[in-house]
Amino acid sequence: MHTQDLTISTTFEGQKKYFASGKTLALAVRKAQLKKLKEILQANEDRLYKAIYSDFRKSIFDTYTTEISILYHEIDEAISKLSTWAKTQKVSTNWVNFPAKSYVIKEPLGVALIIGAWNYPYQLLLSPAIAAIAAGCTAILKPSELSSATSALMAELINEHFDPGFLYVHEGGVSETTELLTLSWNKIFFTGSVRVGRIVYEAAAKNLVPVTLELGGKSPAVITEECDLSMTVKRLVWAKYLNAGQTCIAPDYVMVHKNIADDFITAMQREISKECFSIENGNYVQIINNHNLSRLSSLIDYEQVAIGGTIDEHARVIEPTVLYPASFQSKAMKEEIFGPILPVIVYDQLETVIRQINTGEKPLAAYIFTSDSIKRDLFLNQVSFGGGCVNDAIMHISNSALPFGGVGSSGIGAYHGKAGFDCFSHTKSILQKSTLIELNLKYYPHTPSKLNWVRRILKLS
Ligand code: NAD
């Protein structure tokens, strides 16, 4: 069966029926489906590598470390922890309800729509799908049309091996997504830009569909005088130029203290040349398409180029580029960069940095490189952002115990590990009363003595 063999309304209605049949409820069934997904990925690993290389020349090493291994981990963790995550949890009961017991039941939300972005095409589509399966949902997946080879491969693999009532991939772009968004889903999980996030949120509101929005924004990296400079630069260079900067949580720009700014740039120069970023070396990728290539090239102010700046239009490659000294007025500071261009802004006072970051939208990630715990705490307590690291960048995403998501315009909700299970689950609260006794205080007639008792009991509750 091919991906476009079924219409959107057919698969949607099919999934509603499948979910209503209760087939996804047994934990053993969910675990078996997750195991099956892992086996499909393992059996087709070579094809997964080839497809992503064809989309934007990503190497096997980077694809394994930043996509496939994460999916295997998410599946293994879900299988091993599902019984605990899904367990009905007892909670305390207040005196007013005595005698009774109270508990919360995790129930699957139902039929989910998962829309992915192109930059980590496997992880961004299948990781939420793993969470949906673990939670007992059915799901329709819509990969990004920009990474067409990975989109086609995921459609082929999923649609050949799974019942479309349970899991199905609909390929397509704006018109297909627009059609999908008109339906009454039980959950929409979207990864992509803030602009499209608004469209998704608006469409979801019409049917009161709960959403998780994994969006973007400008993620700062702040470097204080007290940092370990060589370690900072090593980790920062890796994080910025991984996937040629096309990473939602890549450091978008750097703010460096004035006393170490020149040394920082010299160390950046050394580290970038040591890393030898290139597609041939397997540690660099193409810019996804010509549209993004020209958008990125327009963000480079050549008077500010301190490192790199060369663009190979034919190969769709932009050299690792550093703009220094940049300012908040620089062109590259006007939008999320999402490419291998790093503006470096010099600062004097950390308080000013915090104020400047807080005047913009809340970032998806933020990083502080420092050994000064007072500055670290000041930053962590006064800047609101989705998640981040102290003395590193990007790596917080590799710990599935840390819920991953944005805040404000960088997103709504979070996933990975248990947070993923929770995001596709409803927490149903139950008060289970005993029929042995009834205090009768709430019933007519409402006497002064009853009111006294009510006051006493409510104080105890
Ligand atoms: P995008 O918003 O252009 O596309 C995302 C998805 O939305 C795609 O599947 C696309 O087909 C669909 N889409 C595009 N236009 C649409 C429209 N008008 N109506 C309905 N659907 C539409 O994003 P992108 O270019 O694929 O990804 C880049 C953005 O995603 C960046 O802003 C990046 O920060 C963000 N991102 C966020 C995360 C995260 O986890 N928070 C991860 C990756 C990327």
Q: Is this model's pTM higher than 0.95 or not?
A: yes
Residue 7 alpha carbon to ligand 1 centre in Å: 23
Q: What is the homologous superfamily of the domain 8-215+412-425 according to CATH? A: Aldehyde Dehydrogenase; Chain A, domain 1 (3.40.605.10)
CATH architecture of 220-399: 3-Layer(aba) Sandwich (3.40)
Residue 75 alpha carbon to ligand 1 centre in Å: 24
Query: Which residue type is seen at 150?
Result: T
β-pair type (317-318, 411-412): unpaired
Residue 293 alpha carbon to ligand 1 centre in Å: 17
Give the mutation target among 55, 119, 123, 362 for probing the ligand 1 site: most ligand atoms within 8 A of CB.
Answer: 119
Atom of ligand 1 nearest to the CA of 404: 40
Q: Are 248 and 213 in contact (CB under 8 A)?
A: no
Q: Are 366 and 396 in contact (CB under 8 A)?
A: no
Residue 128 alpha carbon to ligand 1 centre in Å: 15
374, burial (CB in 10 Å: exposed 0-12, middle 13-18, buried 19+): exposed
Whose C-alpha lies nearest to ligand 1, atom 10? Answer: 144
Which entry of 137, 248, 389, 423 is annotated as an active-site residue? 248
123-to-80, 117, 131, 172 alpha-carbon distances in Å: 20, 10, 12, 18
Is residue 248 part of the annotated active site? The answer reads: yes
Q: How many CA atoms lie within 13 A of 125 on its CB side?
A: 28
Can you say whether residue 391 is alpha, beta or left, with left for phi > 0 and alpha for psi between -120 and 50 degrees? left
Residue 411 alpha carbon to ligand 1 centre in Å: 12
Give the mutation target among 140, 142, 144 for probing the ligand 1 site: most ligand atoms within 8 A of CB.
Answer: 144
Query: Which residue type is seen at 29?
Result: V
pLDDT in tens, 304-334: 999 999 999 999 999 999 999 999 999 999 9
Residue list, ligand 1 pocket, CB within 6 Å = 115-119, 124, 142, 144-146, 173-174, 177-178, 191-193, 196, 199, 214-216, 248, 336, 338, 364, 406, 411
Report helix, strand or coil for 378. helix
**Per-residue pLDDT, 458:** 84
Atom of ligand 1 nearest to the CA of 178: 20
Is residue 179 part of the annotated active site? The answer reads: no
**Per-residue pLDDT, 1:** 45
**Per-residue pLDDT, 4:** 53
pLDDT in tens, 48-101: 999 999 999 999 999 999 999 999 999 999 999 999 999 999 999 998 898 999
Residue ranges in the chain modelled with pLDDT below 50: 1, 3
pLDDT in tens, 245-278: 999 999 999 999 999 999 999 999 999 999 999 9
Helix (H) or strand (E) holding 195, with range, is: helix 194-206
Report helix, strand or coil for 439. coil
Could you state, in order of their start, the residue ranges of all structural domains in the chain?
8-215+412-425, 220-399
Taking CA 41 as the corner, what is the angle to CA 37 and CA 47, rounded to the nearest 5 degrees?
Answer: 150
